[in-house]
Structure 1
Amino acid sequence: MPTKKTNERLSVFVERFSDVKVLVIGDFVLDQFVWGSVDRISPEAPVPVVNVERESFLPGGALNVANNVRTLGGHVIPCGVVGRDLQGRMLVKVMRREKIDIRGVIYDPTRPTTLKTRVIAHSQQVVRFDHELIREIDASHINQVVEFSQSMMPTIDVVIIEDYGKGVINPTLLTRVLQQAKQLKKPVLVDPKEKHFPYYRGVTAITPNRKEALSVVGPDQNGRTLEIDEVGRELVKRLAVEAVLITLGEAGMALFEQDGSMTRIPTAAKQVYDVSGAGDTVIAVFAMALAAGASKCEAAMLSNQAAGVVVGKLGTATVNREELCHSLGTVFKSSSKRNLTRV
């Protein structure tokens, strides 16, 4: 467990978040929640009948990362693609409501806006419906994303690539954006998808979950499933990244760095209601903490604390600075202004 002195130091980085500017590039999702109750089983099939009481809409996918940056006091500029449809208009409306910058919204009339509908009854998810088209965006829309990224790159502190595998993040786009970031020495963090792992080579850090990490590295030549410490070190070596932060669910996290070190961080969650979007919170806090001058280990510890807060909430949730400091046993000092130490 972190000491009081460590937590006080971590809270200093949280207070610096208001000086951090983040560019988030990835798959935009409109999250719909249908809330209700169940008191009977359908006579038509052995399924529950949900009596709908209300519905809500939230920014999902890469926009949940952006929303976490915003609620943590940072400045965020998301860039992604939506369709020219009702869901796209609703998503932009939700972005405006949440005070998320809409300059990076790129429209593609040939594809629908990704919509994920979750039906919740008695604090339990009953079913999820995904309305989406999984297809790489075409060359013209890749160019629009790259041009927007290039225009923003000089003004930001860190780049987050949020790859949900819907088609915005692809090898061509990754290569061009990473070149931009490298030229301006901007750190790049990636929340990855398995099929794109080879293209993340040379980024600052990646944040896979256990399943993603294991599926990419695979068993050894004798067919033995590797231990998580072997997997993490292999990913650092194979991708030439500075750090790999593997999220392990109830087992917490494991951080692997270029010097061969591994740090195990036990979970900070006191109760778990919903893990939806927890990975988004992890990468948002990890990136902001690094930009605020934290070490990789300190940034991972902060991410773990934030994840512990957000899984205690139902639905696509975010964490704010007051909640994060409270979880550290400290008090957020909103008046604090400190110069950033760049990574």
Structure 2
Amino acid sequence: MDEHSQIRAALAAFPEARIGVLGDLMADRFIYGRASRISPEAPVPVVHITHRTTQPGGAANVGNNVLSMGGRLSLFGVLGDDEAGEEIRTMLGERGAQMQGVVSIGGRPSTVKTRVVAQNQQVVRYDEETTSDIPNETRNDLLQRVVEDLPELDILLLSDYAKGVLTEDLVPRLISAAREAGVQVVVDPKPGNISRYQGADLVKPNMSEAMALFGHDGSGQARDMHGVCSQVRELAGARQVIVTAGQEGMHVLDAGGHYRHLPGLPREVFDVAGAGDSTLAAIAMALAGGADLFIAARIGNLAGSIAVGHLGVTAVRLDEMSAELEEFLGESGSPA
């Protein structure tokens, strides 16, 4: 089967994928308006609000993408007993997510990122959050809920935004339980936490996160990305690595040490917010269906290119991916 056929077959298997997503659940709020003058009180624009939206963010956005791509989602994490937490529970629950793995903690607010947007430009973002580690009792509760669901999962996806859920002692127990159950573990790590993901099947930092591991600011392209991927794999103790690089594409290193750079797909970029979540979800969905790492990465590349074409955090749909694939193949004969 040629590569194009493999990609089509992998997309066709998406509705059978059973994905568990555990990580830092958030709400992404957007306040849209018009800015036509500068405030007399301070040198800042005055925004006249026209409408507001709330969408799943962080690990919740990864889960939302799984649902939009046709997969079956079990969500795990922590939300506060507040309006934002209830909004996320309702939005994802109504879409068919299994929400039994979401724990409520009184006195700990849900993480909320609010962006003010005027004339399609982000004016400011403000965050409401608590980033201290969740209590030990909650960690044990989450672990038990994951263990109970593992027989029903193909992939356990860990989405780390460093908000205190994926703690140093919880992560090894999660990975150990998943390996014992024969479930692949896919991780979107934070640089300071990457060493806790020993034994994961795949880690997927972005370029700036990968370069931060070696004391660089992430600007510019590294000279030897094969070497960088190898070092990331060693630091993480993972089997495989994908380093995403935005419009530059992806750098992929499989378990056998085979490296490949996949160029980015040409696309007008409106907003990069949440694109990494779409990429991550698509990779996990493809792996769940048995695709090899390079096919999964190409599919993730496709999802990310669609996500950046939308304004605001978005969940990429399976039909969008299929249509985009056929359009691109028609133009170039190659998916990436």
- State the AA in 2 paired with 1:71: S
Cα displacement (A) at 1:269? 4.0
How high is the TM-score relative to the length of structure 1?
A: 0.90
How many residues in Structure 1 have an aligned counterpart in Structure 2?
A: 323
Overall identity of the aligned pairs, in %:
34
SS state at 1:329 partner: helix
Partners of 1:21 and 1:158 in 2: how far apart?
7
| Deviations 1:20-49 (CA, angstroms, capped at 9, x unpaired) | 100000011011111111111111111111
- For residues 102-132 of structure 1, give each alpha carbon's deviation from its aligned partner in whole angstroms, at most 9, with x where no partner exists: 2222011131110110111111111111000
Question: Structure 1, residues 135-164: CA drift from partner, whole Å, max 9, x if none?
Answer: 100111001100100110011111100000
Runs of 4+ in 1 over 4 A off after TM superposition: none
Secondary structure at 1:328's aligned position in 2?
helix
Structure-2 separation of matches of 1:296 and 1:56 = 35
CA RMSD of aligned residues (A): 1.8
Q: CA deviation at 1:13?
A: 0.7
The equivalent residue for 1:336 is none
> Which whole-Å deviations, capped at 9, do the CAs of 1:165-202 have from their partners, x for residues lacking one?
00001111101111110111110000001121111111
Unaligned runs of 5+ in 2: 217-221, 329-336
Show the counterpart of 1:279. 276
- The answer to whether the aligner puts 1:107 opposite 2:111 as a matched pair is no
Is it true that 1:206 corresponds to 2:192 in the alignment? no
One-letter code aligned to 2:321: L
Tell me: CA distance 1:139–1:229, structure 2 relative to 1, closer, same or farther (3 Å).
Answer: same
Q: Which residue of 2 aligns with 1:338?
A: none
Correspondence list, 1:85-124, <5 A: 85-124=82-121
Match of 1:12 in 2: 9
CA contact (8 A) 2:197 2:237 kept: no
TM-score computed with the length of structure 2 as normaliser: 0.92
The DSSP-based 3-state class of the residue aligned with 2:77 is strand
Match of 2:332 in 1: none
Structure 1: runs of 5+ lacking an equivalent: 220-224, 332-343
CA-CA distance at 1:97 after TM superposition: 4.2
Structure 1: how far apart are the matches of 2:120 and 2:21?
Answer: 30
Q: Are the structure 2 counterparts of residues 81 and 51 from structure 1 closer, same or farther at C-alpha, using a change threshold of 3 Å? A: same
With 92-101 and 136-145 compared, the bigger mean Cα shift is at: 92-101
What is the letter of the counterpart of residue 267 of structure 2?
A: K
The residue aligned with 2:179 is 182
The reply to whether residue 323 of structure 1 matches residue 323 of structure 2 is no
**Deviation per residue, 1:46-71 (Å, 9 max, x gap):** 11111100001111110100011000
* Aligned partner (choices 118, 129, 153) of residue 156 of structure 1: 153
Contact 2:21 2:156 in 1 (8 A): yes
Residue 39, structure 1, aligned to residue 39, structure 2: no
Quote the Cα distance in structure 2 between the aligned partners of 1:197 and 1:23: 20
Q: What does residue range 19-58 of structure 1 map to in structure 2 within 5 Å?
A: 19-58=16-55
